[in-house]
Amino acid sequence: MKVAVIGSSGQLGHDLMRILPAAGLEAIGFPGRLELDIANAAAVEAMLDRHRPDAVINTAAFHHVDLCESRPDDAWKINAVAVRDAAQACQKRQILWLQIGTDYVAEGWPGCRPIAETAAMCPKSIYATSRFAGDCLTLAHAPQYGYVVRTCGLFGIAGCKLKGGLNFVDTMIAAAKAGRPLRVVNDQIVAPTATDTLSRQLAALLEHQPGPGLYHAVSHGQCSWHEFAQTALNMAGLTATVEPVSSTAFAAAAIRPRYSVLDNARLRAVGLDLMEDWQTSLKRYIACKYNLPD
C-alpha cells in the first residue's frame, strides 16, 4: 500500500515516515506548503493523479490555536474547506482519506467519563470549530473512504514547528534546566499522546481497514497539564517546582477545553486499540530524546 503523508515534516508526520515503512507500507512525504499546499485543491488532485496513493494521511492544519481567533478566514480555509475538497477528491478516486482531528472539539468536566465518538461535541474557539467542520466534512464527502482520527496533546521527537522544534515536554525540561520559573495550568484535563504510538495505530487502521468513520486514538489514562509537566521532569531526573495555576492566569485568546479526554471506544470495538498509557509513552520518549535509561 502506498500512503501519501501531508505535513511529513511535523511531529506526527516525522514518525509516520519512519513507522509506516516499518509496517510494510510505502510512504510518500509532503513536508510543507512548498511541496503541497492543501488549500490548493488543484494541486492536491494533481498529486493524487501523479502518485496514485492508496491512502492519504492529512496531518496539516492551521494549528496556531490563538492566532485562529484573529485569522478566522485562514482557519476555515485550511481546516475545513481544504479538507472537504481533498476528501471529495479521494472519494472520487477510491483513495482512503485519513484526517487527523483534535480533542479541542470536545468538552466535558473534571471527573466525568472519557468522551466517546458518539458523544456530542462542543467546540469553543475558531480553531476548534474549524477543525470540527473538517471532521464533519470528511465524513460527509468521503462516506466510503473517509476516516477521522481524533487525538490529543501530541509529543514526538521532531517537535512542533510553532514552538521552534520543541513540544510541551521539551519546553518544560528546557525551562527547568535553565532555572526558569514554571507555571502550568491544572484545570485542563487531557490524555497526552506520543506520535510514535499514534503512528503505529494509524498503520494498523490502514492495514485492517475496519470501516470508515470517526475514531478516537489517544493515550490511556488522563492528567492535568500540571501533572504531565511534573511527571516529565521527574522522569528526566530534574528537580524543579512547577506552580499550578488556573487557565485564567494566561489570558489566552482562544478558550481551551476543561476536560477533553477522549475514549477509544470504536478502536476497542473493532479490536484495534493499540494505544498505551501516557506514562509509558512519556518514559520511552524521554529515554530516547534525552539518552536516559529506559
- Cβ distance 95 to 145 under 8 Å? yes
Strands 154-155 and 193-194 turn out to be parallel
Cell numbers found for residue 102: 483534535
- Cβ distance 129 to 88 under 8 Å? no
> Nearest-CA neighbor of 60 among 35, 24, 89?
35
In the annotation, is 127 catalytic? yes
Task: Report the C-alpha gap between 7 and 210 in whole angstroms.
Answer: 25
Task: Report the C-alpha gap between 169 and 165 in whole angstroms.
Answer: 11
> Nearest-CA neighbor of 152 among 62, 52, 229, 263?
263
> Nearest-CA neighbor of 187 among 142, 126, 249?
249
> Nearest-CA neighbor of 205 among 99, 131, 119, 133?
99
Strands 223-224 and 189-190 turn out to be antiparallel
User: Exactly one of 104, 127, 147, 215 is catalytic; which is it?
Assistant: 127
Query: Would you give the distance in Å from CA 82 to the centre of its chain?
Result: 18
Cα–Cα distances in Å, from 205 out to 39, 94, 272, 273, 285?
A: 26, 16, 8, 10, 23
- Burial label for 237, CB within 10 Å (0-12, 13-18, 19+), is exposed
Active site residues: 127
